[in-house]
Amino acid sequence: MTKLYDLFIIGGGINGAGIARDASGRGFSVYLADKGKVGSATSSWSSKLIHGGLRYLENYEFKLVRQSLKEREVITKIAPNITKPLPFVIPHSKQSRSKLLIKLGLFLYDNIGGKTNIPKSSKIDLKKNYINILKPQFSFGFKYYDVQVDDKKLVEMNIENAKNLGAVIAENKKVINAKIDNDSWKILFEDKETVRAKILINASGPWINETINNVINISINKSIRLVRGSHIIVKKLYDEEVAFTLQNYDNRIVFVIPHKKDYTLIGTTEVDVDNPENPTISDSEKKYLINSVNNHFIKNITNEDIVKTYSGIRPLIEDFKEASKVTRDYIFDLNLQNKQAPLLNIYGGKLTTYRKLSEKVIEQLEPFLPIKNTRNWTHLKKL
């Protein structure tokens, strides 16, 4: 007789991995499938940061920033081997946001997340600190802290933990059809194998609508926006273990971050695209990032200095604003066409809040799960 799983998850990015870990640890049977390698797409194309999202305060996303800062604290405790606090310097000039606005933003950033072991922000004299890095017009700035992370490793550690707790993890296993059959989901793979599950979770990230339309074959009108974020990597621009948050002429932010001892990571851009497949950086994005660095740093760079590039697609919830102002929060769409076989589609989300998202998934699905009133646990157990 074919096993009936409690949960089937499409997508092995950070959200799928987190849900698999959380659910398995509560005693649910879980099957996760990814068409490629886990953590090999959007979840490994980030800026490698666990952060509150300082710039989200400008969009009045206080709830998201508060939750993100709380999660920053949790993730540093459960994944200490792949995270580390990193100072960020915001150089200030007359063209930047006002000093008062930055001070207010940093005060909120320091405090709305509650108790933290991360150092507080401060004003900094750039003529005495981090000298010979920035151009002379940047005489002072502000310093705050966020956390650097190995994003791909974070996915892999969640997956490994889920496996140890009994989850089935299938890589290079493409789902081509999912349909309700006798009050459960019948999932068909490209290799003709089938799996059955009580609940289907669509955590396919940028491919969410493609999965809904072509795999699950139902009509849902929620609209997402695909935004490409690109990064360039160059040989290290300076020796100090500090990152810079650059404010551009268009009010967008570019991070300049130490990367793997000998390199500097620069990103990210935000460009609307139509397709999530094979994202690559454009010449205009390279120019944008290079100009951002050259407008701030003494040491200038050119195309020839680029050692590597990578681009990722972020699925953002469409609200018809500029890409930089679209929310990074997540929403769930619980589809109950058949109450015995729920479908949960996950829209949006970000690396920092994956663990909280996973808890919320279990909370949302509890009425349909065989074990009730399970306790949250992932904030207590190290990966």
CATH number for 121: 3.30.9.10
56 domain-assigned: no
Helix (H, G, I), strand (E, B) or coil at 141: strand
pLDDT in tens, 182-217: 899 999 999 999 999 999 999 999 999 899 999 999
Helix (H, G, I), strand (E, B) or coil at 98: coil
pTM of the model: 0.93
pLDDT in tens, 138-187: 999 999 999 999 999 999 999 999 999 999 999 999 999 999 998 999 99
Q: Report which secondary-structure segment, H or E, holds 284.
A: helix 283-294
pLDDT in tens, 313-347: 988 876 544 444 445 578 898 988 767 799 999 98
The residue range of the domain holding 174 is 4-42+153-223+328-368
Tell whether 215 and 240 lie within a shared domain.
no
pLDDT in tens, 35-69: 999 988 777 788 899 998 888 888 888 999 999 99
Tell whether 296 and 249 lie within a shared domain.
yes
37 domain-assigned: yes
Residue whose C-alpha is closest to residue 289's, from 299, 301, 307: 301
Residue whose C-alpha is closest to residue 236's, from 255, 263, 213, 216: 263
Tell whether 235 and 362 lie within a shared domain.
no
166 domain-assigned: yes
Residue with tokens 């002429």: 249
Hey, CA dihedral for 285, 353, 148, 12, is it positive or negative? negative
Residues with Cβ < 8 Å from 200, sequence gap 6 or more? 8, 10, 178, 185, 187, 216, 341, 342, 343, 344
Q: Provide the residue type at 187 as one letter.
A: I
Tell whether 159 and 299 lie within a shared domain.
no
Distances from the Cα of 248 to the Cα of 252, 285, 301, angstroms: 5, 14, 17
198 domain-assigned: yes
Judging by DSSP bridges, how do beta strands 30-33 and 4-10 pair with one another? Answer: parallel
374 domain-assigned: no
Contact 6, 32 (CB under 8 A): no
- Counting the structural domains of the chain, the total is 2
CATH number of 176's domain = 3.50.50.60
